[in-house]
């Protein structure tokens, strides 16, 4: 019997319009009624998912969400950050300057304000505000001020065309891969954060906290940043729209995010 369903959001639980379908809501609520834990495991920050927390009534219950690709864990009732493994100081400065050298646009998920900091208005700002739902502030001197004030952040994002980010991933020095976690959450987004953080480790640690074994966990995702979570879970599920490398390691492939793939998993394996 499965006791916890860890689901990615963009490209997985949410459809192509960034919406939570009635079919998915119904399935999630039925699972909750069976005392199954539903855990959002997302690259988004907490302020970008509160409307989905509220839509399922998690704001009235002691539930959990994993945000920023496993960097942080939140209580849904209080929105208290229970755990955060952040970047700060010289690491932040280095990652920002490296991204600028490669020609990427830099977005920083700030801690503890939980907003998105950009160096200048760019073509991806609307995506951050409107699609992801993050509050955005412009700080042109962010990089030069980092070390002085020991600024902290959940993660640094490089944004650009798919081709540019493909090139950046190939050019990032091996020692950088050795020091930080580097994953694609979307074709246009490359995320860099603490090396010890990923969705798989976060789901594992939450399972231990709730006394739920890996064999009692379903994990559902579609992108590179879901890899560890899908590999860890007793039932790793790739969406029909998932990248091929994720489908190759999954135990099961469900329908697409526009055809309620998450609801179909819950109906088949949980209800």
Active site residue 8: yes
Which carries the bigger pLDDT value, residue 112 or residue 236? 236
Query: What is the structure's pLDDT at 237?
Result: 98
Query: 62 to each of 76, 175, 178, how far by Cα in Å?
Result: 6, 40, 36
CB 6 within 8 A of CB 41: yes
Which of 194, 220, 237 is the C-terminal boundary of a domain? Answer: 194
Which carries the bigger pLDDT value, residue 149 or residue 38? 38
Tell whether 75 and 202 lie within a shared domain.
yes
Tell whether 138 and 213 lie within a shared domain.
no
Q: Which among 234, 237, 238, 236 is positioned nearest to 213, based on CA atoms?
A: 234
Query: What is the structure's pLDDT at 145?
Result: 86
Give yes or no for residue 133 having a pLDDT over 90. no
Tell whether 39 and 62 lie within a shared domain.
yes
Give yes or no for residue 68 having a pLDDT over 90. yes
* Mean pLDDT of the 199-220 span: 97
Residue 144: count other Cβ atoms within 10 Å of its Cβ.
11
Q: Which among 15, 228, 248 is positioned nearest to 238, based on CA atoms?
A: 248
Percent of the chain with pLDDT over 90: 89
* Mean pLDDT of the 165-190 span: 94
Query: What is the structure's pLDDT at 144?
Result: 86
Q: Which of the four pLDDT bands, split at 50, 70 and 90, describes residue 146?
A: confident
Which of 194, 210, 241 is the C-terminal boundary of a domain? Answer: 194
Residues 233-266 pLDDT 10s: 999 999 999 999 999 999 999 999 999 999 999 9
Give yes or no for residue 185 having a pLDDT over 90. no
Domain count, the chain: 2
Query: What is the structure's pLDDT at 87?
Result: 96
CATH number at residue 184: 3.30.1240.10
CB 262 within 8 A of CB 7: yes
How far apart are alpha carbons 50 and 130 in whole angstroms?
A: 14
Residue range(s) defining the domain that contains residue 206: 4-84+197-269
Which of 194, 216, 240 is the C-terminal boundary of a domain? Answer: 194
Tell whether 105 and 34 lie within a shared domain.
no
Cα angle 248, 252, 258 (rounded to 5 degrees) comes to 95
Give yes or no for residue 128 having a pLDDT over 90. no
Average pLDDT of the chain? 95
Identify each DSSP E strand in the chain by its residue range.
Answer: 4-7, 37-41, 64-67, 72-75, 81-84, 87-88, 105-111, 116-118, 136-138, 152-159, 180-186, 189-194, 217-221, 235-238, 252-253
Q: Which one is catalytic: 8, 110, 222, 226?
A: 8
Tell whether 16 and 106 lie within a shared domain.
no
Residue with tokens 């990032």: 172
Tell whether 53 and 142 lie within a shared domain.
no
Query: What is the structure's pLDDT at 180?
Result: 97
Q: Which of 118-122, 127-131, 173-177, 232-236 has the lowest mean pLDDT?
A: 127-131
Tell whether 176 and 202 lie within a shared domain.
no
Tell whether 171 and 113 lie within a shared domain.
yes
CATH number at residue 64: 3.40.50.1000
Query: What is the structure's pLDDT at 201?
Result: 97
Token pair belonging to 85 = 């493994």
Which carries the bigger pLDDT value, residue 75 or residue 186? 75
Residues 70-111 pLDDT 10s: 999 999 999 999 999 999 999 999 999 999 999 999 999 999
Query: What is the structure's pLDDT at 147?
Result: 82
Tell whether 189 and 256 lie within a shared domain.
no
Tell whether 61 and 183 lie within a shared domain.
no
Tell whether 100 and 181 lie within a shared domain.
yes
Tell whether 146 and 189 lie within a shared domain.
yes
SS3 38: strand
């Amino acid at each position: 019997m499965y006791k916890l369903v860890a689901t990615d959001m963009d490209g997985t639980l949410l459809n192509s319009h960034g919406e939570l379908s009635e079919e998915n809501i119904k399935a999630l609520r039925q699972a909750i009624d069976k005392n199954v834990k539903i855990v959002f495991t997302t690259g988004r920050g907490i302020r970008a998912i509160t409307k989905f927390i509220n839509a399922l009534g998690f704001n009235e219950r002691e539930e959990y969400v994993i945000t920023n690709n496993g960097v942080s864990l939140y209580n849904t009732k209080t929105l208290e950050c229970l755990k955060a493994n952040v970047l700060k100081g010289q690491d932040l400065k280095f990652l920002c300057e490296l991204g600028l050298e490669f020609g990427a646009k830099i977005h920083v998920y700030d801690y503890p304000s939980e907003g998105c900091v950009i160096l200048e208005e760019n073509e991806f700002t609307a995506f951050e505000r409107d699609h992801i739902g993050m509050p955005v502030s412009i700080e042109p001197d962010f990089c030069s001020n980092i070390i002085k004030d020991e600024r902290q952040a959940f993660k640094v994002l490089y944004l650009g065309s798919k081709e540019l980010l493909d090139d950046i991933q190939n050019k990032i020095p091996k020692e950088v891969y050795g020091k930080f976690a580097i994953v694609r959450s979307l074709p246009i987004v490359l995320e860099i954060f603490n090396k010890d953080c990923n969705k798989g480790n976060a789901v594992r640690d939450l399972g231990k906290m709730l006394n739920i074994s890996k064999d009692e966990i379903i994990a559902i995702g579609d992108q590179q940043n879901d890899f560890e979570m899908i590999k860890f879970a007793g039932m790793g599920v790739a969406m029909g729209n998932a990248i091929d490398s994720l489908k190759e390691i999954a135990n099961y492939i469900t329908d697409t995010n526009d055809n309620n793939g998450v609801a179909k998993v819950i109906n088949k394996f949980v209800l």
